[in-house]
């Protein structure tokens, strides 16, 4: 998975499932340099929203999406697929939301075309945690 604007070149992509509390798993602190794919959704390049998740930082320091603020509308994201092809996406929108108001339907709801969501944490540290999520919305272009 590559996001050139943010200096991200991460592999392998981890498989993530549902967490015990009903939310989506996130990569472990030990895997803070990797991106995870929510494997209960579609694969990148298939019709629907493929969801990738990575850390902004952890207790051990900066992580794979530490430079997410450098990503702008129009930037490209590439994801190597299991079939050997690469899915290319163009960022359509960026959103920062309070985790308590996470837009579940907007992120995980069905779409009629291949789309990508990349999710990380954001906001100023409060009690050792970041209160927001930063979400990149991208559309398949190749």
Q: Are strands 114-122 and 86-98 parallel, antiparallel or unpaired?
A: unpaired
pLDDT over 90 at 28, yes or no: yes
- Residue 95 sits in a domain of what CATH number? 2.40.260.10
> What string of DSSP letters covers 53-72?
E--SEETTEE-TTTTGGG--
Mean pLDDT computed over every residue of the chain = 96
Q: 21-26: long-range contacts (C-beta < 8 A, 24 or more apart)?
A: 24/51, 24/53, 25/53, 26/53, 26/55
How far is it, in rounded angstroms, from Cα 130 to Cα 56? 9
Range of the domain at 114: 2-140
pLDDT over 90 at 128, yes or no: no
Q: What is the mean pLDDT of residues 22-49?
A: 95
Domain count, the chain: 1
Is 142 strand, coil or helix?
coil
pLDDT over 90 at 112, yes or no: yes
């Amino acid at each position: 998975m590559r996001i050139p604007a943010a200096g991200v070149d991460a592999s392998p992509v981890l498989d993530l499932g549902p967490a015990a509390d009903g939310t989506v798993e996130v990569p472990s602190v030990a895997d803070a340099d990797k991106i995870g794919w929510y494997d209960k959704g579609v694969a990148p390049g298939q019709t629907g929203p493929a969801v990738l998740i990575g850390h902004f930082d952890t207790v051990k320091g900066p992580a794979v999406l530490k430079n997410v603020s450098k990503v702008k509308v129009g930037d490209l994201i590439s994801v190597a697929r299991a079939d050997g092809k690469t899915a290319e996406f163009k960022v359509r929108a960026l959103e920062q939301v309070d985790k308590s108001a996470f837009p579940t339907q907007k992120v995980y709801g069905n779409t009629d075309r291949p789309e990508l969501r990349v999710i990380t944490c954001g906001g100023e540290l409060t009690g050792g945690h970041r209160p927001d999520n930063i979400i990149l919305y991208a559309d398949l272009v190749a």
